[in-house]
Amino acid sequence: MITDNDVLTARVQEINAEFDDPVLTAAWQMCDRHAPQSVAFTVVDDDLVGTDLTYGELAERSRRIASVLADHGVVPGSRVASLMGKSADLPAVMLAIWRLGAVYVPLFTAFASGAVSDRLTRAEAVVVITDTAQRNKVPDGGWVTIVAGECDASDGALVLDELLDTAEAHADDGPGGPHTPIVHMFTSGTTGKPKSVVHPKSYAAGWQGYLEFALDAHGRDRVLWCGADPGWAYGLYCSIIAPLIAGVRSLMTVGPFDPAKTWEVLAEFGVTDFATAPTALRAMRMSDAARPLPLLRRVSSAGEPLTPEVFEWTRSLGAPVHDHFGQTELGMCAGFAHHPALAVDPVPASMGRSLPGWSLTVLGLDDEAPAEVGETGRLAVVVDSSAFFSFTGYGVDRDVHSDRFSTDGSHYLTGDLARIDDRGLLHFSSRDDDVILMAGYRIGPFEVEPALLSHEAVLEAAVVASPDEVRGEVAHAFIVLQPGYSAEAQLVRDLQLWVKAEYAAHAYPRRIDFIDALPKTESGKVKRAALRERLRDDDRSDLTAKNQEEQ
């Protein structure tokens, strides 16, 4: 008897077999094999006007861009970066880079000039393509700068459209095979200098699996919109690369995130499949632009832990959000899948289960044996049992393992703490360097923060460990208040009692500081290292209120 699991396993093998083919190129898999008249993207401008971009148009423009890049020194293995907003040019640039066998370096448009320069230098970029809005962030260096879109070229700038006027179509499609590098990006750098991560073409196989199994967004009847920024792994692969592989039309919205506009796009374009970060869902929840979304069928979340109040709110949309977990190094490897053969009702504060092609487990905190059910340990990927696993190490040669692997190399250590319950569901606790050790208890910040966020006075919250003479460490909360609330001693006590009641008596934040804004990375993740450093400093004059431990 053939089971659903057999069918899914066979599909994983089919996907891997395609990406293992030594001949197939990235340009063929992501563009040239699809019908030229089929729509690859609908680009939505600020006025909510959608313009379709077909695979034929992508193929033609990308071949001419490839010719321009070749004229400016791009050869196989060269690094070519883009610092540009979402537009029809972005996927064409990416395909052009791969047609030359070069490697794409995505840059986040919120980066300041220093961050841009650092990544261009470390990647040894040969060319960077930018647009007019980002042009001033690209410093002079050992790279050629080309400006896409409308541009005043009076200062001698190289303008893409002008270069394309005389460019012939590039005929070749670059090298094939699973080990061909296609993307060179950097981790978010939450706790240190961003690490260099190079993705081989085989890495994209896991993203095709993610689109099919987790999002269940394959098929021409689906309207997929991933709201994440393509300057980061999730937005790059979920909104551009995976849809290109699968031939699924994807929406691409111009401009920065805006909650009101998000509601409008979901309604006007009949989005059936929406993927974004919990931060965006929280902003939508607070927006006055809410409206019925009768066509929305699947909502997915990734990039940060999903808090219970957002989960409950999405039920009112008729599409409860499914939380998914992944990393730049891995792709997406766990979650509550939308695929009918994998469907399990999502559970608040849970990461779900391993997705097809992946096997996750929890190892002990002090050894490499599997942790007991319900016991907090180190979240790990079982390498030999994960067909989509492609990470070998950091750096250009992908050989800097650091401490990411277990002693015998059998497990990849995610750097997260988690537990598995008796239903086999994973529950995130914290990053392994964020855990709070208090009087023998291990307290994960994510287990305290949702309780704080459920209080009506709290807009944002982050919890870190604070040194304590008696207990070793205690939970220390940094809180941004909702408008209309003020930092008062009574509110401190109310919040402490609230956490005791909502989560656990031992894990309440014994110290609370009210601040104007949480320090965050460019991708929106809280910089806990900065909060811990703040606690180590004697000068705390930037805090809006200073509170002592509850007696």
Q: Is the pLDDT of residue 550 over 50?
A: no
Question: Taking 50 as the threshold, does the pLDDT of residue 545 lie above it?
Answer: no
Determine the Cα–Cα distance for residues 446 and 277; give it in Å rounded to an integer.
Answer: 16
DSSP 264-279: HHHHHTT-SEEEE-HH
CB of 48 within 8 A of CB of 70? no
Place of tokens 């598995």: 420
**How close are the terminal C-alpha atoms of the chain, in Å?**
64
Q: Are 432 and 378 contacting, i.e. CB atoms less than 8 angstroms apart?
A: yes
Contact 512, 531 (CB under 8 A): no
Q: Over range 392-415, report the average pLDDT.
A: 87
Best CA proximity match to 547, nearest among 472, 471, 487: 487
Is pTM beyond 0.95? Reply is no
pLDDT digits (tens, 9 = 90+) for 109-122: 888 888 889 899 99
Please, is 366 exposed, middle or buried when counting C-beta atoms within 10 Å of its C-beta (0-12, 13-18, 19+)?
A: exposed
| pLDDT at res. 280 | 87
297 has pLDDT over 80: yes
Task: Write out pLDDT tens, residues 190-239.
Answer: 445 678 999 999 999 999 999 999 999 876 678 999 999 999 899 999 99
Quickly state the pLDDT bin for 421 (edges 50, 70, 90): very high
pLDDT over threshold 90, residue 180: yes
Beta 224-226 vs 196-200: how paired, if at all? unpaired
Amino acid at 91: P
d(CA 249, CA 54): 9
Residues in the chain: 551
Residue found by looking up tokens 């805090």 in the block: 543
Work out the average pLDDT over 394-417. 87
All domains of the chain in start order, with CATH: 23-35+51-195 (3.40.50.12780), 434-546 (3.30.300.30)
- Helix, strand, or coil here: 427? strand
Q: How far is CA 160 from CA 59, 113, 145, 151, in A?
A: 16, 21, 10, 9
pLDDT score, position 551: 38
Structure letter (DSSP) for residue 352: B
